[in-house]
Amino acid sequence: MRIDLVSEHASPLAVIGGADSGGQNVHVGHLARALGERGHHVTVYTRRDDPQLPDRVRAGPGVTVEHVPAGPASTLPKDVLLPYMPEFGDHLARRWLAEPPEVAHAHFWMSGLAAHRGARGTGIPVLQTFHALGIVKRRHQGPSDPSPPSRLRLEAGLARDAALVVATCSDEVTELAALGMPPQRVAVVPCGVDLDRFTPKGPRAARGGRHRILSLGRLVERKGVETTVRALSEVPGAELVIAGGGDAIADTELARLAALAQARGVRDRVRLVGRVARADVPALLRSADVVVSVPWYEPFGMVPLEAMACGVPVVASAVGGHLDTVLDGRTGALVPPRDPAALAQRLRELLADPGRLAAIGSAAAARARSRYGWGRVADETELLYRRVLAGTEAPRATVKGGQS
C-alpha cells in the first residue's frame, strides 16, 4: 500500500525531549519504519521548522519524510500552529492530487484538520489518532491549558468524520464514548517499544550505592515530577535522578524542582542530569531500581514501556495508557496522581524487597516483548487500514488495549 502519515508538529527526525517532542515523534517514526519494512511506501508529512531542511528525507526502507511549508520555517509551540493548518492541508491536496495514497493516517488533532482538507473530494480515507484529547487536557490544566479555544469542538468533528479513530489506550475509548463516538468506529492499537534497543541485557549507567529512583521525560508541570520529589523525603536511603531538559520551559521547571528539593531537605539526594541522548536512555533505565512516571494524565506513556522492556519495575500514576501497560503488583505499581504519600509507600515496599523487584522486572520485560513490539503494532495498524479500505467494521474497542 501507499500510506501517508500526517504529523504536523511531531517530526520523526526531531531530537526527543523538547517541550513539544516526545512520544508522538517516536510513535510516528517507528510506525512508519515498521510499515516500510513490510513493503509499504510510507510518506510522513511534517511542518518545516527550519529553512535549511531539505524538501524530502529518506528515513528508512520505503519511508520518506516530507517537510511541508506551513507558516514560518522556524520552531514554534504547537499550540500556535492552528492558523497554518489550511496551508498545510492545501499542500497535501496538491500532493495527493498527483500521488494519492490509499490511506492517510493523521496523528494529533491539527494533523487531522490538515489531512481532511487535503483529502476533500478525493475519496482518500483518513484515520485519526489523537495522541491526546483536548477534553482531558482542559480537565486537568483548566485555565492554564494553552490549547486554542476551538480545540474541543474541532476534535469532536474529527472524531465524527474520520474513517476510523485509532486510540492508543482503553481509557481514550471511554473518553471518546463520552463524546458520542460509537465503539465500532474506534479501535485500540497501543504505542510500541523498540525491543532491539530496550532490553534487560546491556550496559548500565554508573551509579553509587544508594537505591536509584529514575524520573525520565519532558520537564513540564503536568508530568508530575514534583510528586516524586515530595515523595523522596519519605524514602530514606534512595537517590532520585531526574533526566530531561534542554529548553527554556524545561529549565524553568528544573529550577523549580531544585528549589523544592532544597525546601524538602532532599537536595543532596536529587541529581538533575539534564537532557539525555536517545542512545544513552537504555543504559540509564537499566541503572535504576525503579522508574517513576506519575503525570496528572497521560495519553499513553512511552517511558514506562521502555523501562519495562529493560526489565525495570515501574511505579506509575493510575491514568490513561498506564492502566493498560502497567499491571499493578505484577509488572509494577499504580498509584493515584498527585499523591506523594501513596507513591512513597509503594517505593518503600518495592525497594525493601530485592527479590520482588527482580520478579516484577522479569514480568515487565516479558510483557513488553509479548505485546508491545513495533512489529505487532504495525501488523495491527495495517489490518485496520485494510479493513477501512474493504469497508468492513473494525473490532469493537471494548477490551483494554494492554490486555488483548
Rounded Cα distance, 303 and 306, in Å: 5
Residue extents of the structural domains in the chain: 2-192+373-390, 211-371
DSSP character string of 43-54: EEEEE--STTS-
β-pair partners for 294: none
Give the strand pairing for 164-167 and 186-188: parallel
Backbone angles phi, psi at 386, to 5 degrees: -65, -35
**2-192+373-390 CATH choice from 3.40.50.2300, 3.30.360.10, 3.10.450.50, 3.40.50.2000:** 3.40.50.2000
Q: Does residue 308 contact residue 368 with C-beta atoms inside 8 Å?
A: yes
Q: Give CA–CA dist 342/336, Å, rounded.
A: 7
Kindly state the DSSP code that residue 397 receives in the 8-state scheme: S
| Beta bridge mates, 105 | 5, 127
Rounded Cα–Cα distance for residues 71 and 88 (Å): 9
Distance from C-alpha of 285 to C-alpha of 77, rounded to nearest angstrom:
29
**CA separation (Å) from 171 to 36, 301, 348?**
29, 12, 29
Taking the CB of residue 358, how many other CB atoms lie within 10 A of it? 12
Are 127 and 163 spatial neighbours (Cβ–Cβ below 8 Å)? yes
| Class in CATH terms, 211-371 | alpha beta
CA distances from 321 to 132, 170, 240, 294, 301 (A): 11, 7, 24, 12, 6
Mutual angle of helices 302-309 and 354-371, in 10-degree steps: 110
Cell numbers at 44, concatenated: 510522513
Residue-by-residue pLDDT tens, the chain, 404 positions: 999 999 999 999 886 555 555 778 999 999 999 999 999 999 999 999 999 999 999 999 999 999 999 999 999 999 999 999 999 999 999 999 999 999 999 999 999 999 999 999 999 999 999 998 999 989 988 888 889 999 999 999 999 999 999 999 999 999 999 888 888 899 999 999 999 999 999 999 999 889 999 999 888 889 999 999 999 999 999 999 999 876 767 788 889 999 999 999 999 999 999 889 889 999 999 999 999 999 998 888 999 999 999 999 999 999 999 999 999 999 999 999 999 999 999 999 999 999 999 999 999 999 999 999 999 999 999 999 999 999 876 555 433 333 33
Taking the model in full, what pTM does it have? 0.89
**Are both 2-192+373-390 and 211-371 of the same fold?**
yes
Residue 102's nearest CA partner among 134, 126, 80 is 126
C-alpha span between 96 and 99 (Å, rounded): 5
> Comparing C-alpha atoms, which of 78, 40, 101 is closest to residue 379?
40
DSSP state letter for 238: E
Cell 534512595, located at residue: 238
